[in-house]
Amino acid sequence: MTKFFEVKHQSKKSGARLGVIHTDHGDIQTPEFMPVGTQATVKTLDPRDLNEAGAQIILGNAYHLHLRPGENLIKKMGGLAKFMNWHKPTLTDSGGFQVFSLDKEFEVRGVKDSQNLRGKSLVKISENGVAFRSYLDGSWHLFTPESAIQIQHKIGADIIMAFDQCTKDDAPLQESIEAMERTHRWAKQCVEYHQKQKPLHKYQQRLFGIIQGGQFKDLRIKSAKFITSLPFDGIAIGGESIGYNMEITEKIMTWLKPLLPEDKPRYTMGVGFSPFDLFAVVEMGIDMFDCVAPTRLARNGALYISPKAGGNIKNKYRININNAEFIEDKGPIDPWCDCKTCKGFDGKNFFSRSYLHHLLKTNEIEGLRLASIHNVRFMLKVMEEIRAAIAKDKFEKLKKDWIK
Amino acid sequence: MTKFFEVKHQSKKSGARLGVIHTDHGDIQTPEFMPVGTQATVKTLDPRDLNEAGAQIILGNAYHLHLRPGENLIKKMGGLAKFMNWHKPTLTDSGGFQVFSLDKEFEVRGVKDSQNLRGKSLVKISENGVAFRSYLDGSWHLFTPESAIQIQHKIGADIIMAFDQCTKDDAPLQESIEAMERTHRWAKQCVEYHQKQKPLHKYQQRLFGIIQGGQFKDLRIKSAKFITSLPFDGIAIGGESIGYNMEITEKIMTWLKPLLPEDKPRYTMGVGFSPFDLFAVVEMGIDMFDCVAPTRLARNGALYISPKAGGNIKNKYRININNAEFIEDKGPIDPWCDCKTCKGFDGKNFFSRSYLHHLLKTNEIEGLRLASIHNVRFMLKVMEEIRAAIAKDKFEKLKKDWIK
For the stretch A339-350, pLDDT in tens is 999 999 999 999
Pick the catalytic residue: A49, A164, A290, A334? A290
**B182 Cβ neighbours under 8 A, 6+ residues apart:** B125, B127, B165
Q: Residue A107: pLDDT above 70? A: no
Q: How far apart are CA B105 and CA B103, in angstroms?
A: 5
Chosen for mutation from B362, B370, B374 (greatest number of chain A CBs closer than 10 Å) is B362
| CB proximity A371 to B under 8 Å | no
Residue B359 lies in a domain: yes
Whether chain B has a CB inside 8 Å of the CB on A136: the answer is no
Q: Band of the pLDDT at A138, cuts 50, 70, 90?
A: confident
Instruction: Quote the minimal CA–CA distance from B172 to chain A in Å.
Output: 37
Q: Which residues pair with A91 in a beta bridge?
A: A59, A159
- Are A216 and A314 in the same domain? no
Do B195 and B314 reside in the same domain of the chain?
A: no
B317 and B202 in a single domain? The answer is no
Whether A222 maps to a domain, the answer reads yes
**Residue B205 and residue B304 in one domain:** no
Q: Over the stretch A383-401, which tens digit does the pLDDT of each residue have?
A: 999 999 999 999 999 999 9
Note whether residue B264 is domain-resident.
yes
**Nearest Cβ partner for A364 among B43, B330, B358:** B43
Residues A102 and A139 in one domain: yes
E-state strands within B62-116: 90-93
DSSP labels, B138-176 = --EEEE-HHHHHHHHHHHT-SEEE----PPPTT--HHHH
- Active site annotation includes A93: yes
On the question of pLDDT at B106 being above 50, the answer is no
The verdict on B29 and B159 lying in the same domain is yes
Same domain, B134 and B231: yes
Where does A212-337 show beta strands of DSSP type E?
234-237, 266-269, 288-290, 302-304, 318-320
Looking at A238, A261, A291, which one is the last position of a domain? A291
Give the residue numbers spanning the domain of B108: 5-291
Residue A251's contacts (CB-CB under 8 Å, 6 or more residues apart) are A215
Residue A394 lies in a domain: no
pLDDT digit string, tens, across residues A252-266? 999 999 999 999 999
Task: Looking at the structure, tell me whether residues B323 and B241 fall in a common domain.
Answer: no
Total domain count, chain A: 2
CA distance B303 to B319: 5
B111 and B59: one domain? Answer: yes
Are residues A163 and A136 located together in one domain of the fold?
Answer: yes
| pLDDT at residue number B316 | 85
Q: Clarify whether residues B20 and B114 are in a common domain.
A: yes
Q: Please report the DSSP string for B240-252 in residue order.
A: THHHHSHHHHHHH
pTM of the model: 0.96
Q: How do residues B289-339 score in pLDDT, each as one tens digit?
A: 999 999 999 999 999 999 999 887 666 899 999 999 999 999 999 999 999
Question: Is A41 within 8 Å of B359 when comparing Cβ atoms?
Answer: yes
Give the nearest partner residue to B358 out of A40, A364, A370, using CB atoms: A40
CB B151 within 8 A of CB B71: yes
- Distance of alpha carbon B305 from alpha carbon B309, whole angstroms: 6
- Answer yes or no: is pLDDT of A114 > 80: no
In a domain, B401, yes or no: no
Indicate whether B32 pLDDT > 60: yes
Q: Which residues of A touch B330 (CB under 8 A)?
A: 77
| The pLDDT value given to residue A111 | 46
A92 plus A109 within the same structural domain: yes
Neighbouring C-beta atoms of residue A177, cutoff 10 Å: 19
pLDDT of B109 reads: 42
With 80 as the cut, is the pLDDT of residue B105 above it?
no
In this structure, is residue A402 part of a structural domain?
Answer: no
pLDDT (mean) for B243-272: 97
Residue A240 buriedness (CB in 10 A; 0-12 / 13-18 / 19+): buried
Residues in chain B: 404
pLDDT value of position B67: 94
Q: Does a structural domain hold residue B150?
A: yes
Phi, psi dihedrals of residue B109, rounded to the nearest 5°: -95, -30
- Please give the average per-residue pLDDT across A297-310, as a whole number: 95
Which one-letter DSSP state was computed for residue A36? B
Give the DSSP per-residue string, A367-402: HHHHHHHHHHHHHHHHHHHHHHHHHTT-HHHHHHHH
Catalytic residue among A49, A93, A277, A334: A93
- The CATH number given to whatever domain includes residue B182 is 3.20.20.105
Looking at beta carbons, which residues of chain B come within 8 Å of A47?
Answer: 345, 349
Contacts B349 to A, Cβ<8 Å: 47, 85, 87
Q: In the structure, what pLDDT confidence band is assigned to residue A369 with cuts at 50, 70 and 90?
A: very high
Last residue of a domain, one of B236, B269, B291: B291
pLDDT tens by residue, A44-74: 999 999 999 999 999 999 999 999 999 999 9
Return all residues near B344 (Cβ < 8 A) that are at least 6 apart: A85, B350, B351
Share the mean pLDDT of chain A.
Answer: 93
Instruction: Evaluate whether residue B214 is within a structural domain.
Output: yes
Q: How far off is chain A from B43, nearest CA to CA, in Å?
A: 7
Q: Which of B226, B260, B291 is the last residue in one of the domains?
A: B291
